[in-house]
Amino acid sequence: MRKGRETMEERDKETELQRPMEPAEEEVAGEEKQGKREKGSLASDLFDWAEALVYALALLVVVCAFFVRLSGVQGTSMYPTLDNGDQLLLLSFGYNEPERGDIVVLMADDFMDKPLVKRVIGIGGDVIDMDPSGTVTVNGEALYEPYINDLNGQDMYLGDIQFPLTVPDGQVFVMGDNRNGSSDSRKAEVGTIPYEKIVGKAVFRLFPFNRMGRIE
């Protein structure tokens, strides 16, 4: 009798084990599996994002090291085009032949303890002339310069060099847009600038944010 009872109990257990899961139980199990899959997917996505960020930062470092540079503006010699504290993005890689009108950053030298930001007025072979009224001529043609700071009726500073001046080959003649507040090629201690002393061309203002944009 006991043996028969034990056999029936064993059959009941087997039946219970083989019994299909109720819908509620299946739903709970499915949710648990789905939760595990979602956690695994989230971890995988986070890893992918982190990996992409590392690659992006590495690429940025390479680009900044070889192609572009950052430079700040100190002083108001380029006002109103640029102002004190502006942060600039410079094109340096492959910038070998400056053009008239380019805004460039010049490396510090004996006559200055910080990089200078100036506008290229003339390149090698150009003949530069100017008068106190503020008119600048290059090869006999007056420049149209809507970017300069108003002289407010004052004579323009002509510096201590002799005009007309012929720019040597491989060099540039530069001036600040704030003509009466700029130390530039009009001063003998600065003079014309060899190409190799040009750090790069300013192409974009990064800061302040309300003036962010291309530089022209």
More confident: 76 or 62: 76
Tens digits of per-residue pLDDT, 125-183? 999 999 998 899 999 999 999 999 988 888 898 899 999 999 999 999 999 999 999 99
Considering only residues 198 and 39, tell me which one the structure prediction assigns the higher pLDDT: 198
Q: Residue 126, by phi and psi: left (phi above 0), alpha (psi -120 to 50) or beta?
A: beta
CB within 8 Å of 108: residues ≥ 6 apart: 114, 115
- Active-site amino acid positions: 77, 118
% pLDDT > 90, the chain: 50
Give ∠ CA 154-156-161 in degrees, rounded to 5: 150
Cα–Cα distances in Å, from 86 out to 46, 65, 117, 146, 202?
Answer: 36, 21, 11, 20, 11
* Residue corresponding to tokens 């390149």: 123
Q: Write the class of the CATH domain 69-207.
A: mainly beta
Which pLDDT belongs to residue 144?
94
CA distances, 3 to each of 8, 12, 112, 162 (Å): 9, 14, 107, 125
Threshold 0.75, pTM exceeds: no
Query: pLDDT tens digit string along 2-35?
Result: 545 555 555 555 555 455 555 555 554 555 555 5
Q: pLDDT-derived band of residue 70, with 50, 70 and 90 as boundaries?
A: confident
- Tokens 């992918």 belong to 48
How far is residue 144's CA from residue 211's CA, in Å, rounded to a whole number?
24
The whole-angstrom distance between residue 46's C-alpha and the CA centroid of its chain comes to: 28
Cα–Cα nearest to 158, from 177, 136, 138: 136
* Dihedral of alpha carbons 175, 134, 165, 96, sign: positive
What rounded mean pLDDT belongs to the chain? Answer: 81
